[in-house]
Chain A
Amino acid sequence: MTQQIDYYVIAAPLTLAVAAALVLVLDAFLPARRRAVPGLVTLVGVLAALGFVVAQSLSTAAARGGAGAGGAGASGPGVGAAGASGAGAGGGGAATFCVPPGLASGERLCSFVMDGFALVFAGLVLVAAVVVVLLSMTEVAGGGIPVGEWYFLLLCTLVGAVTLPASRDLVMLVVALELVSLPVFALTALRRYDGRASEAAVKLFVVSVVSTAVMLFGVSLLYGVAGTVHLSRLGEVLGGRVRAPGADPGSYAPLLEAGHGLPAVVTVGVVLVTAGFAFKIAAVPFHFWAADVYQGAPVPVAALLSVISKAAGFAGLILVLVAALAGQAATWVPVVGVLAALTMSVGNLLAMRQRHAVRLLAWSSVAQSGYVLAALAATAPASAGHTRAATTLGPVGAALAYLVIYAAMNLGAFAVVMLVSRAAPGNELDDYRGLAFRSPAAGLALAFCLVCLAGLPPGLAGLFAKVFVFRELVGSGTGWLALVMAVNTVIGLYYYAAWAGRVFTPGPAASRSRTLPATWLAVGVALAAAILFSVAPQLVLDLTALSALG
């Protein structure tokens, strides 16, 4: 029996992989002075992949429109169950790598589904990738970094990041996640003879491997209980709708039961998987690597870590928690809530003391992960029966909306940091003194992005992103987390405002240094997105509505 592969469905990661191979070959055969070519090939590859994603999402949206209101109503507490089962059958999106019909009992199980959720994440990753590639052009032009390897590794990461949200079984998830992580170690260390970069790479490597091990343990426990790796089937088993193979109802003492007649080891599995992803998104208490690695890595890699790698981590977390473990929400919702509160508080408190721009952004991005986690913690356990207003986004929608807006504003900040780092390699906050006078465009762009991150007007994008999350929290009755987040918003403002204030205080005279136009283009792309989201936040909401799992 041959596996049928729908190549159109996997077009986006395939394009990226082909581009990666091409870059490696070109690098071997092109003369050394043509350093720009691999970068351009990478850019074209990313844009082509983005084109495929857009085309697929247009057809998905059309199918969604045809399918009627069924899909639109899928957001909400029951999103996991409804989405997972609807993934193959409904207008949810094209799927491939499916279990052949003869072997599967019940509905169709597929490992790779390019539905709205995957498409939105893929789009987010690829647009962010455009900015990162543009930043890389400046970084690589400085010399000291092997060009071909750099772009090859970058593209490999992207393949993983695009594949991950489309993965619908545990093995594929882990493989995709490793594909995101592994090249990043090398990227971090690629600046040779730089002790800090090597240290960062080792740190990242160790943390990442540990987290993978933890997650694999959790995954194997879940597989052992449910007897399947497919997320939709996992969801059914762990939600109690299908009996677990070998499980005998009533055979566990009440104390050892994880609900739905499942052994308590499920809880362990849930916690371990959550912890594994928490490493990837640098949630507290698995956060300590963030600042050192961000600071040691080249700026484009830090941007990649803070946006693409983080988005991939969240995609995986959401898939596992909401699609596979919706039935175990009573276990993971409090855990995620506490993680969220810790993450935002610790991230913000650490960021307050930073003097180094990238370190500050590192801790701030930890804090921002906390806000995204908070949205997920607003998931109401299915039994609680909270009534929601009709217009609500749902926790996944809010988290996704936050991630999309966060990506725009954070990349904008990183792009300006990249600009400044050419003139002031130290990249201390004090190097930003007087930026608004030396280079008004960069100063205003940075100030806008920082105000966005702080969540104040005129950075309306950031404000609305926080409003989305707050609304979920208040709506789901998670008031304590809302209060923690409120206090954190204020703490966050302190360091963003201090930085933005430096930009506008008179500083030393300009020391002109040449920056490639590519960096300016990167600033422009990120800033345009942030401004667009500020003026019309509805765009983000439309995107996330498309994503409503399934």
Chain B
Amino acid sequence: MAWLLVAMPVVPLLGALALLVLPDALRPALRTYGLVVSGLVLALAAVVVAAFDHRRPGAVQFELDMPWIPGLGLRFHLGVDGVSLPLVALTALLTFLCFVYLCWGGARAQERFHGARPRALVFTLLVLEIGMIGTFLALDLLLFFVFFEIVLVPMYFLIAIWGGGGRRAAAVKFILYTLLGSVVMLLGLLLVWSQTGTLDVVALSRAHGAGMSRAVQILAFVAIGIGLAVKTPMWPLHTWLPDAHTEAPTVGSVLLAGVLLKMGTYGFARIAIPVLPEGATAVAPFLGAFAVVGIVYGALACLAQRDLKRMIAYSSVGHMGFVLLGFATLTPVGVNGALFANVAHGLITGLLFFLAGAVKERYRTSDMPSLGGGLLAVMPRLGSVLTFASIASLGLPGLAGFWGEMLALFGAFQPAPGLPRGLFLTYMVVGGLGAVLTAAYFLVMLSRVTHGRPTAQSAQEPPAGHPAGQGAMGGGPPTQEAPDGGPVGEEAPGGGPPAQEATSGGPVGQESPGGGPPGQEAPGGGPPAQEAPGGGPVGWEVPDERPVVPLGGVPRRAEEPAVTSAAAGGGAVSAGGGGGAGMAPHPDDIRGYELAAWSPLVVLTLLFGLWPGLLLSLTTPAVQSLLGAVS
């Protein structure tokens, strides 16, 4: 059965190589190609989960151990146990969902592939998947390091090529920062190797630090810990994260938050703590302190953010603080909580970044004040899922986000013997306050984005960075109108408002000349739409497509007739627009492919929230065997 584990990194590798060797043969089927390859990996992961012996999750299963570089003592040693299994499954799932999102999303709007280079994108994601899965499977220190490093280059290109405005700087910052961390980690790993003479993680954790003096253990733990903490990221080393997240494309953010951060925390559970128990005991109080600062700092930073993606990125700092606090307790309860919070964060924050990407794509901005409010009214389904994900993330009992943080705090209540209890009690209290702050910033975010009235402000003209094509499109209606009717001219001196409304779609702008405030017009909205000369259906489409403005081809064509019709029909038609926006379900709400990509995450969040035992039964025995010496 060991071939299953080999196949998991090898399948994306072969998939990527095939892209390189046979570009022309695969070009027509590129979107489905990525889907198929990652689906294959997901299927393999599912088989592993099914075939995994759930009665002994503490043991390493499907083990494969082959020499690779005898001169270096490096062995190709793979295996899964209760700690790595959920993460492997999570990785396979998230990658697959990213491809689902890209596959149909890409087919719908060419620009999500950013106009070009779908082959490079699929290639990059597949290489990324090799590294991510390999990291969780590796049971050899150097092999772990190699896989750990594999993700750097594809993630760099993912940000640098498909990212947002400041992508170049963010990508460089990301790769330099994490490389510095991982080189220091390499030194720590080599120190362990030079002292014990083996790179085998299983043997090293079984030895529980035998053969290494306390000083060496502390030094090695600090070195390895710095490398992992950069990746996690831990509080003072986190500064690469917000930039990378803000600039990365949606799939990049999802994988970065959902999987890459987990590689850091997984390293603590797999290598740092079991292999260097004495070092862990010595450093744990400091680790806990940084973790707690991270929790509070992350929450406060979130409160100060204007950008939705940046806020979610900072929330990751806070959540990872809980994970690190759990590890710092060195108790089975705390570590269990950390691992649970790890997986839960992967699911929930992955979902949040998908949602933020969707919002950004619809509004062309993720700046919260510019978004205005009223997402729930304009796009009720999208708003609901966003609300759900935020509430899950803030740790509402009954959803997955709760258990991990609760267990981590609970672990801090009674830390491992040898750790100062009073200190950890303080951590627990501060961490608890941080949890309250977490709730605060998510609620503030919800109140700013999802609630409120979808007034003109909610569909405001995005600020300066607005692409020219859309500007032209949005700008179209008012210029055509101006000669048409005097009333518009009256509005014009108002400056801002008409322009803003106009971009949101002609209709709102046309409402105003029709008379009264838009809000009042809205209720009467439906029927007049039929008046639209040139066909009712067009009139109906107009309001529907409004926020779709950025979406390119199809809406553009729909808009043109709408403009003429609006010009002819005057205010009445546009009143229909206002009404449609307020009341009817929005076709631009969650789309099919988005639903397909998100629903597994929603379901799993609910599942783990309602039935935490499912995950804990896997990790508990594994954690106990890993912690053997500490507790």
**B176-200 residues at the A interface, CB under 8 angstroms:** 176, 179-180, 183-184, 186-187, 190-191, 193-194, 197
Cα distance A471–B188 in the bound complex, in angstroms = 10
CB distance from B231 to the nearest CB of A (A): 14
Cβ of A456 and Cβ of B187 under 8 Å apart? no
Number of interface residues of B (CB under 8 A): 36
Q: Smallest CB-CB separation from B150: which chain A residue?
A: A457
Segment at the interface with B among A33-41, A293-301, A486-494: A486-494
Number of interface residues of A (CB under 8 A): 38
Choice from B73, B120, B152, B168 contacting A456 with Cβ under 8 Å:
B152
**Across-interface contacts of B149 in A (CB, < 8 A):** 456-457, 463
CB distance from B130 to the nearest CB of A (A): 9
Most chain-A Cβ atoms within 10 A of its Cβ — which of B153, B168, B184?
B153
A-contact bits for B311-331, CB 8 A (1 contact / 0 none) = 000000000000000000000
Segment at the interface with A among B156-164, B345-353, B486-494: B156-164
Q: Tell me whether A390 and B197 are in contact in the complex, defined as CB-CB below 8 angstroms, given that A463-B149, A468-B72, A542-B71 are known contacts.
A: yes
Cβ of B186 and Cβ of A467 under 8 Å apart? yes
Q: Smallest CB-CB separation from B196: which chain A residue?
A: A389
Cβ of B153 and Cβ of A471 under 8 Å apart? no
Is A59 interfacial (CB-CB < 8 Å)? no
Cβ of A497 and Cβ of B194 under 8 Å apart? no
**Across-interface contacts of B179 in A (CB, < 8 A):** 456, 489-490, 493
Cα distance A475–B196 in the bound complex, in angstroms = 11
Cα distance A542–B180 in the bound complex, in angstroms = 30
A-contact bits for B15-59, CB 8 A (1 contact / 0 none) = 000001000000000000000000000000000000000000000
A-contact bits for B129-165, CB 8 A (1 contact / 0 none) = 0010000000000100010011011001100110000
Most chain-A Cβ atoms within 10 A of its Cβ — which of B146, B157, B180, B187?
B187
Cβ of A391 and Cβ of B72 under 8 Å apart? yes
**Across-interface contacts of A439 in B (CB, < 8 A):** none
CB distance from B550 to the nearest CB of A (A): 22
**Across-interface contacts of A497 in B (CB, < 8 A):** 156, 172, 175
**Across-interface contacts of A538 in B (CB, < 8 A):** 68-71
Q: Smallest CB-CB separation from B157: which chain A residue?
A: A504
Is A545 interfacial (CB-CB < 8 Å)? yes
**Across-interface contacts of B190 in A (CB, < 8 A):** 467, 470-471, 474-475
CB distance from B25 to the nearest CB of A (A): 15
**Across-interface contacts of B222 in A (CB, < 8 A):** none
**Across-interface contacts of A501 in B (CB, < 8 A):** 156-157, 160, 168, 171
Cα distance A393–B69 in the bound complex, in angstroms = 12
**Across-interface contacts of B284 in A (CB, < 8 A):** none
Cα distance A474–B156 in the bound complex, in angstroms = 29
Q: Smallest CB-CB separation from B16: which chain A residue?
A: A458
Is A240 interfacial (CB-CB < 8 Å)? no
Cβ of A537 and Cβ of B72 under 8 Å apart? yes
Is B127 interfacial (CB-CB < 8 Å)? yes
Q: Tell me whether A470 and B69 are in contact in the complex, defined as CB-CB below 8 angstroms, given that A458-B153, A463-B149 are known contacts.
A: no
Is A483 interfacial (CB-CB < 8 Å)? yes
CB distance from A540 to the nearest CB of B (A): 8
Cβ of A474 and Cβ of B176 under 8 Å apart? no
Cβ of B194 and Cβ of A464 under 8 Å apart? no
Cα distance A474–B220 in the bound complex, in angstroms = 11
CB distance from A548 to the nearest CB of B (A): 12
Cβ of B175 and Cβ of A493 under 8 Å apart? yes
**A441-494 residues at the B interface, CB under 8 angstroms:** 444, 451, 456-458, 460, 463-464, 467-468, 470-471, 474-475, 479, 482-483, 486-487, 489-490, 493-494
Q: Tell me whether A457 and B187 are in contact in the complex, defined as CB-CB below 8 angstroms, given that A389-B194, A471-B194, A490-B180 are known contacts.
A: no
Q: Tell me whether A545 and B71 are in contact in the complex, defined as CB-CB below 8 angstroms, given that A457-B146, A467-B186, A474-B191 are known contacts.
A: yes
Cα distance A80–B406 in the bound complex, in angstroms = 61
Cα distance A483–B186 in the bound complex, in angstroms = 11
Cα distance A479–B156 in the bound complex, in angstroms = 29
**A524-550 residues at the B interface, CB under 8 angstroms:** 536-538, 541-542, 545
Cα distance A538–B153 in the bound complex, in angstroms = 24
CB distance from A535 to the nearest CB of B (A): 10
**Across-interface contacts of B183 in A (CB, < 8 A):** 486-487, 489-490
B-contact bits for A411-443, CB 8 A (1 contact / 0 none) = 000000000000000000000000000000000
**Across-interface contacts of A464 in B (CB, < 8 A):** 69, 72
Is A498 interfacial (CB-CB < 8 Å)? yes
Choice from A389, A451, A504 contacting B193 with Cβ under 8 Å:
A389
Cβ of B72 and Cβ of A467 under 8 Å apart? yes
Cβ of A493 and Cβ of B194 under 8 Å apart? no
Choice from B150, B194, B197 contacting A474 with Cβ under 8 Å:
B194
CB distance from A259 to the nearest CB of B (A): 28
Choice from A391, A493, A545 contacting B73 with Cβ under 8 Å:
A391
**Across-interface contacts of B194 in A (CB, < 8 A):** 389, 471, 474-475
CB distance from B279 to the nearest CB of A (A): 16
Cβ of B187 and Cβ of A483 under 8 Å apart? yes
Choice from A468, A470, A475, A493 contacting B176 with Cβ under 8 Å:
A493
Choice from B72, B150, B186 contacting A458 with Cβ under 8 Å:
B150
Cα distance A456–B178 in the bound complex, in angstroms = 12
CB distance from A459 to the nearest CB of B (A): 9
Most chain-B Cβ atoms within 10 A of its Cβ — which of A463, A467, A505, A545?
A467
**Across-interface contacts of B69 in A (CB, < 8 A):** 464, 536-538, 541
Q: Smallest CB-CB separation from B67: which chain A residue?
A: A538
Cβ of B71 and Cβ of A391 under 8 Å apart? yes
Cβ of B146 and Cβ of A486 under 8 Å apart? no
**Across-interface contacts of B146 in A (CB, < 8 A):** 457, 460, 463
**Across-interface contacts of A483 in B (CB, < 8 A):** 184, 187
**Across-interface contacts of A468 in B (CB, < 8 A):** 72
Cα distance A311–B71 in the bound complex, in angstroms = 23
Q: Smallest CB-CB separation from B185: which chain A residue?
A: A486
Cα distance A393–B176 in the bound complex, in angstroms = 29
Cβ of B73 and Cβ of A470 under 8 Å apart? no
CB distance from B481 to the nearest CB of A (A): 39
CB distance from B188 to the nearest CB of A (A): 9
Cα distance A537–B160 in the bound complex, in angstroms = 30
Cα distance A389–B191 in the bound complex, in angstroms = 12
Cα distance A91–B160 in the bound complex, in angstroms = 55
CB distance from A108 to the nearest CB of B (A): 32
Cα distance A476–B270 in the bound complex, in angstroms = 27
Choice from A482, A493, A504, A542 contacting B187 with Cβ under 8 Å:
A482
Cβ of A457 and Cβ of B184 under 8 Å apart? no
Cβ of A504 and Cβ of B161 under 8 Å apart? yes
Q: Smallest CB-CB separation from B146: which chain A residue?
A: A457
Cα distance A545–B153 in the bound complex, in angstroms = 32
Cβ of A486 and Cβ of B187 under 8 Å apart? yes
**Across-interface contacts of A467 in B (CB, < 8 A):** 72, 142, 186, 190
Cα distance A497–B177 in the bound complex, in angstroms = 13
Cα distance A434–B156 in the bound complex, in angstroms = 17
Most chain-B Cβ atoms within 10 A of its Cβ — which of A475, A490, A541?
A490
Cα distance A489–B183 in the bound complex, in angstroms = 8
Q: Smallest CB-CB separation from B134: which chain A residue?
A: A457
CB distance from B518 to the nearest CB of A (A): 43
**Across-interface contacts of A537 in B (CB, < 8 A):** 69, 71-72
Cα distance A483–B219 in the bound complex, in angstroms = 13
**Across-interface contacts of B70 in A (CB, < 8 A):** 391, 538, 541
5 examples of A-B residue contacts, CB within 8 angstroms = A457-B152, A458-B127, A460-B146, A471-B193, A504-B120
Please report A residues at the B interface, Cβ cutoff 8 Å: 389-391, 393, 444, 451, 456-458, 460, 463-464, 467-468, 470-471, 474-475, 479, 482-483, 486-487, 489-490, 493-494, 497-498, 501, 504-505, 536-538, 541-542, 545
Please report B residues at the A interface, Cβ cutoff 8 Å: 20, 68-73, 120, 127, 131, 142, 146, 149-150, 152-153, 156-157, 160-161, 168, 171-172, 175-176, 179-180, 183-184, 186-187, 190-191, 193-194, 197
- A389-B194, A479-B187, A489-B183 known, 13 other contacts, Cβ within 8 Å: A390-B197, A456-B179, A457-B131, A457-B146, A458-B150, A470-B186, A474-B187, A475-B194, A486-B186, A487-B183, A493-B179, A537-B71, A538-B71
